[in-house]
Amino acid sequence: MNSLVYVDDRQVTDLTVKRRKVKDLADFAGISPLIAEALADGKEFIYVKIDLPTKPMELNQ
Protein backbone atom coordinates (compact mmCIF):
# COMPACT_ATOMS: atom_id res chain seq x y z
CA MET A 1 0.00 0.00 0.00
CA ASN A 2 3.09 2.17 -0.08
CA SER A 3 2.27 5.44 -1.87
CA LEU A 4 -1.35 4.34 -2.39
CA VAL A 5 -2.72 4.64 1.15
CA TYR A 6 0.27 5.78 3.19
CA VAL A 7 3.29 7.85 2.34
CA ASP A 8 5.41 5.04 3.77
CA ASP A 9 4.38 1.57 4.98
CA ARG A 10 6.35 2.20 8.18
CA GLN A 11 3.41 4.38 9.26
CA VAL A 12 1.32 1.22 9.76
CA THR A 13 1.17 0.17 13.41
CA ASP A 14 -1.59 -2.48 13.31
CA LEU A 15 -2.82 -4.62 10.46
CA THR A 16 -5.83 -6.90 10.12
CA VAL A 17 -6.33 -8.77 6.89
CA LYS A 18 -9.47 -10.67 5.90
CA ARG A 19 -10.15 -12.44 2.64
CA ARG A 20 -13.65 -13.53 1.76
CA LYS A 21 -15.21 -15.34 -1.17
CA VAL A 22 -18.44 -13.60 -2.09
CA LYS A 23 -20.24 -16.91 -2.59
CA ASP A 24 -19.49 -17.80 1.06
CA LEU A 25 -21.10 -14.63 2.44
CA ALA A 26 -24.67 -15.08 3.63
CA ASP A 27 -25.69 -11.61 4.74
CA PHE A 28 -25.19 -8.41 2.78
CA ALA A 29 -27.37 -6.28 5.08
CA GLY A 30 -25.73 -3.05 6.11
CA ILE A 31 -22.84 -3.05 3.64
CA SER A 32 -21.64 0.31 2.43
CA PRO A 33 -22.67 1.58 -1.03
CA LEU A 34 -19.02 1.50 -2.08
CA ILE A 35 -18.69 -2.21 -1.28
CA ALA A 36 -22.08 -2.94 -2.88
CA GLU A 37 -20.91 -1.25 -6.08
CA ALA A 38 -17.66 -3.23 -6.10
CA LEU A 39 -19.55 -6.50 -5.54
CA ALA A 40 -22.00 -5.66 -8.32
CA ASP A 41 -19.07 -5.11 -10.70
CA GLY A 42 -18.16 -8.77 -10.24
CA LYS A 43 -14.40 -8.25 -10.17
CA GLU A 44 -11.94 -8.75 -7.34
CA PHE A 45 -11.30 -5.65 -5.27
CA ILE A 46 -9.45 -4.46 -2.19
CA TYR A 47 -11.20 -2.48 0.51
CA VAL A 48 -8.92 -0.54 2.86
CA LYS A 49 -10.26 0.88 6.10
CA ILE A 50 -8.05 3.28 8.00
CA ASP A 51 -8.80 3.73 11.68
CA LEU A 52 -7.16 4.98 14.83
CA PRO A 53 -4.58 2.54 16.23
CA THR A 54 -5.40 0.42 19.21
CA LYS A 55 -3.81 1.28 22.54
CA PRO A 56 -0.36 -0.36 22.78
CA MET A 57 0.19 -2.87 25.56
CA GLU A 58 3.04 -4.95 26.89
CA LEU A 59 3.08 -8.49 25.52
CA ASN A 60 3.58 -10.01 28.98
CA GLN A 61 0.20 -8.77 30.27
What is the per-residue pLDDT for 61? 57
What is the per-residue pLDDT for 36? 85
Are the C-beta atoms of 45 and 37 separated by less than 8 Å? no
Q: What is the mean pLDDT of the chain?
A: 79
Q: Is 5 helix (H, G, I), strand (E, B) or coil?
A: coil
pLDDT tens for 17-39 read 888 777 776 677 788 888 888 88
Q: Distance between CA atoms of 40 and 5, rounded to whole angstroms?
A: 24
Model pTM score: 0.52
Better-scored residue on pLDDT, 45 or 6 = 45
What is the per-residue pLDDT for 23? 72
What is the per-residue pLDDT for 45? 85
The single-letter code of the amino acid at 58 is E
